Amino acid sequence: MSMRERFEGIPMFRGLPPQQMEELGKIVITQSFKRGESIFLEGEEAHGFYVVSSGRVKVFKISFEGKEQILHILGPGEPFAEVPVFAGNNFPANAEALEQSSALYFSREKFFSLIEKVPQLAMNMLAILSVRLHQFTVLIEDLALKEVPGRLAAYLLYLNEKQESPEQVTLDITKTQLASLLGTIPETLSRMLARMTSEGIISSQGTSGVRLVSIDMLGKLASGEVRLSKR
Amino acid sequence: MSMRERFEGIPMFRGLPPQQMEELGKIVITQSFKRGESIFLEGEEAHGFYVVSSGRVKVFKISFEGKEQILHILGPGEPFAEVPVFAGNNFPANAEALEQSSALYFSREKFFSLIEKVPQLAMNMLAILSVRLHQFTVLIEDLALKEVPGRLAAYLLYLNEKQESPEQVTLDITKTQLASLLGTIPETLSRMLARMTSEGIISSQGTSGVRLVSIDMLGKLASGEVRLSKR
DNA sequence: CGTCGACTTGAGTTAACTCAAATCATGTGG
DNA sequence: CCACATGATTTGAGTTAACTCAAGTCGACG
């Protein structure tokens, strides 16, 4: 695969002049990870950032008792660990490969010198960090102000937007991972899906398929306008 | 006050060449707000960002039922609402003056043209957004993985670092605001302070003073290593 | 000195958790 | 292609941290 092909698929680098693509190719290192393999741990010293090349990666926090909260799940083309490039010197969270994955690694030093030649890169990075901040405000809002059914409803609607088939979504991660992403535990998630099914809001389609029977009710759940009835 | 004096106190602009300070002065607008006055609402169209000049400002989310979660409390020199400058077109949260305050307003358009002349501004902004992202990961971790006593302990230790007097802090916001910042309600905060006092971990010093009797125990509470005993 | 918001305390409720025990799904070695 | 091992998921029973609602009390400002 040519440099151009490798970097065109990465939003952060899209549209850079070919010569800069070549420069990028000189500073990049490719790393592979097996399923479940740790990429970095919170607190470790960071010297650069990554872009997922293939597979999927989760970035997460973990509590003293071992409960985890997923911050992001990243797929091909998405960068992660950009924060310690510009502030602090340590990874603020953990990262692990969810499946066999490969990632491009850019050292901070080399990336900085590239930014000087291509100021547009700094603007691209500003946009990326801003999107992340926005995503985090939504996660904070969910955790602090919504109940689990509301977060679940919001996630189902998000999948419905992202995926093609109308009113029919496929869970792209295990329910255990989804529970961690929504700030709850698998048992609770299972019960909420059961309640939403018995209320006629959703219905199960095979192992990981969910049909959104009432988009309207999901919207009201997600906004907090209504709640799921008891038991 | 000269332009230079006005901008030297703002970390984001510190060290800019005098000529750029003059440029800044040309694009800035000063706004004042009374205590409790709204600065912007979530979802409104955004055309620029602010820097607190005097007073204090809270940035917060609010639920359908009216419960609020404070995202930041900002003082002089700190920018806010930078996100919609680089991603999205709308404010992702609400902002309100906690006391009589004034803020400098920079329109996106004019700020962009300034960045082109002063690339260092983009790097400063990257550092600011990165710090914010880091703060948000901590807040997410607190909300998802810690109990209220742990969050409170962490906040007291944070104040202890920030303020000068050793093992003695002054709450700089009302307990109602603190509850909202910690993701809880005033009643719960009041009970937790009472429990920490009866456990001999802290003691009350007047209305808003708190003496940190056992820094060690606060640290263990904040990390989740120990819990507050019942009732 | 009165008023309004801030703070505290009591009593009861509840959403979500923990712990335990099946059951199901997936993939691997034989 | 089958049997089992391992992790994912579900369901039941009980517990709990934190919430809601209610009722004062406190305190700063006009």
* pLDDT tens digits, B103-118: 999 999 999 999 998 8
pLDDT digits (tens, 9 = 90+) for B119-141: 999 999 999 999 999 999 999 99
Cα-Cα-Cα-Cα dihedral sign, residues A144, A147, A148, A152: negative
**Interatomic separation, CA of residue A192 and C1' of nucleotide C27, rounded (Å):** 29
**pLDDT of B229 strictly over 90:** no
User: Given an 8 Å threshold on Cβ–Cβ distance, is B87 in contact with A146?
Assistant: no
pLDDT score at A3 = 61
What pLDDT shows up at residue B3?
61
Confidence category of residue A231, pLDDT binned at 50, 70, 90: low
Query: Under an 8 A CB cutoff, do A87 and B223 touch?
Result: no
pLDDT one-digit tens code per residue, A18-29: 888 888 888 999
Q: How far is the C-alpha of A7 from the C-alpha of A25, rounded, in Å? A: 9
Distance CA A144, CA B146 (A): 12
Of B207 and A6, which is predicted with more confidence?
A: B207
> Which chain A residues contact residue B123 at CB under 8 A?
86, 115, 122
Strand B94-97 versus strand B57-62 pairing type = antiparallel
Task: Average the pLDDT over B11-40 and give the result.
Answer: 89
Residue nearest to nucleotide D16 (CA to C1'): B230
List the Cα angle B25/B29/B30 in 5-degree steps: 110
Q: How far apart are CA A126 and CA A110, in angstroms?
A: 18
Per-residue model confidence as pLDDT tens digits over A138-167:
999 999 999 999 999 999 999 999 999 889
Tell me the residue length of chain A.
Answer: 231
| Chain B residues near residue A123 by CB distance under 8 angstroms | 86, 115, 122
Query: What are the chain A neighbours of B130 within 8 Å (beta carbons)?
Result: 82-88, 129
pLDDT at residue B230 above 80? Answer: no
Mean pLDDT of A205-209: 91
